[in-house]
């Protein structure tokens, strides 16, 4: 299941990130962060993750991701990695690949299993041609191109690619979540139940039945969550 989360970053926030990126030339080849299979099919740039600018940007974006109630409900995060920042231009692309299963979280000195992938778009769709994120799941291929500040969140088990950018620049942040609930299907069911309970509460107010459903949600989470 894919989830479109609008306004993870405000337009103002996006603008300040984009301005900071323009100050220095901090872009390096993106091949350094790809696995062996992915290196040959990846052509993009990324902000040097050893730079001060990277620290500054990732520390700006990470709290916004953590604050999103939609992302919390969908991904049930145990750990969220600091995001990477990438730029596709001049036919830059990333062929079909699967993300590495394990990432090292440098600041915390821990390894993180990537259960959920996330891309936050930092360019508006009319700033570039091509650059669609194509995600394959059991229902086929999904083409994603979102407004700046919006995120797409999807199971890290999905094959995906970024189509060549034929004009302009496509700037985005991407990151991964280790979820308390590893199984995609269990996570989807919890998300659907959580969202339905919230809508029922909005439409009908509190009731004994809604309380029972909420109890059911928490008991399932208790059953499935691994901390």
Closer Cβ to Ni ion, 178 or 190, answer by number: 178
DSSP class of residue 81 equals P
Q: What share of the chain is helix, strand, coil (3-state, %, to 5)?
A: 35, 35, 30
Closest CB to Ni ion among residues 156, 190: 156
Residue 132 as a binder of Ni ion (CB under 5 A): the answer is no
Nearest approach, Cβ of residue 12 and Ni ion (Å):
28
Per-residue mark of binding to Ni ion, 75-114 (x: CB under 5 A)? ------------------------x---------------
Site for Ni ion in 155-214 (CB under 5 A): none
CB of 89 to Ni ion, least distance (A): 18
How many residues line the site for Ni ion (CB under 5 A)? 1
Q: Are 112 and 102 within 8 A, CB to CB? A: yes
Min separation Cβ 99 and Ni ion, Å: 4
Closer CB to Ni ion, 99 or 147, in the complex: 99
Q: Which of 99, 136 has the CB closer to Ni ion?
A: 99
Tell me how far, at minimum, the Cβ of 160 lies from Ni ion, in Å: 6
Pick from 142, 80, 145, 147: which is nearest to 117 by CA? 80
- Tell me the torsion sign for CA atoms 153, 201, 192, 81: positive
Q: Does 147 bind Ni ion (CB under 5 A)?
A: no
The per-residue DSSP string of 174-210 comes to: EEEEEESS--HHHHHHHHHHHHHHHHHHHHH---HHH
Of 99 and 124, nearer to Ni ion (C-beta) is: 99
Between the two ends of the chain, the Cα-to-Cα distance in Å is: 23
With CB atoms as reference, the residue minimizing the distance to Ni ion is: 99
127 near Ni ion (CB under 5 A): no
**What are the structure tokens assigned to 176, written together?**
């991964």
Radius of gyration from C-alpha coordinates of the chain: 18
**136: contact with Ni ion by CB under 5 A:** no
Q: Judging by DSSP bridges, how do beta strands 116-121 and 151-155 pair with one another?
A: antiparallel
Q: Contact residues for Ni ion (CB under 5 A)?
A: 99
């Amino acid at each position: 299941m894919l989830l479109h989360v609008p306004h993870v970053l405000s337009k103002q926030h996006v603008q300040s990130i984009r301005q900071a990126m323009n100050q220095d030339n901090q872009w390096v080849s993106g091949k350094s962060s790809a696995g062996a299979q992915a290196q040959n099919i990846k052509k993009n740039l990324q902000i040097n993750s050893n730079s001060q600018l990277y620290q500054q940007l990732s520390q700006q974006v990470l709290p916004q991701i953590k604050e999103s109630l939609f992302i919390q409900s969908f991904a049930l995060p145990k750990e969220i990695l600091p995001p990477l920042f990438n730029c596709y231009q001049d036919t830059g692309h990333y062929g079909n690949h699967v993300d590495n299963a394990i990432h090292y979280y440098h600041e915390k000195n821990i390894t993180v299993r990537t259960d959920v992938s996330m891309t936050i778009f930092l360019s508006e769709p009319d700033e570039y041609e091509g650059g669609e994120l194509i995600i394959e799941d059991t229902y086929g291929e999904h083409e994603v191109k979102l407004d700046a500040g919006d995120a797409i969140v999807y199971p890290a088990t999905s094959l995906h690619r970024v189509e060549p950018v034929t004009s302009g620049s496509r700037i985005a942040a991407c990151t991964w979540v280790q979820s308390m609930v590893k199984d995609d299907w269990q996570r989807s069911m919890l998300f659907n139940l959580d969202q339905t309970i919230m809508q029922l509460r909005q439409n009908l107010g509190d009731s004994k039945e809604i309380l029972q459903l909420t109890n059911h949600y928490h008991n399932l989470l208790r059953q499935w969550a691994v901390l």
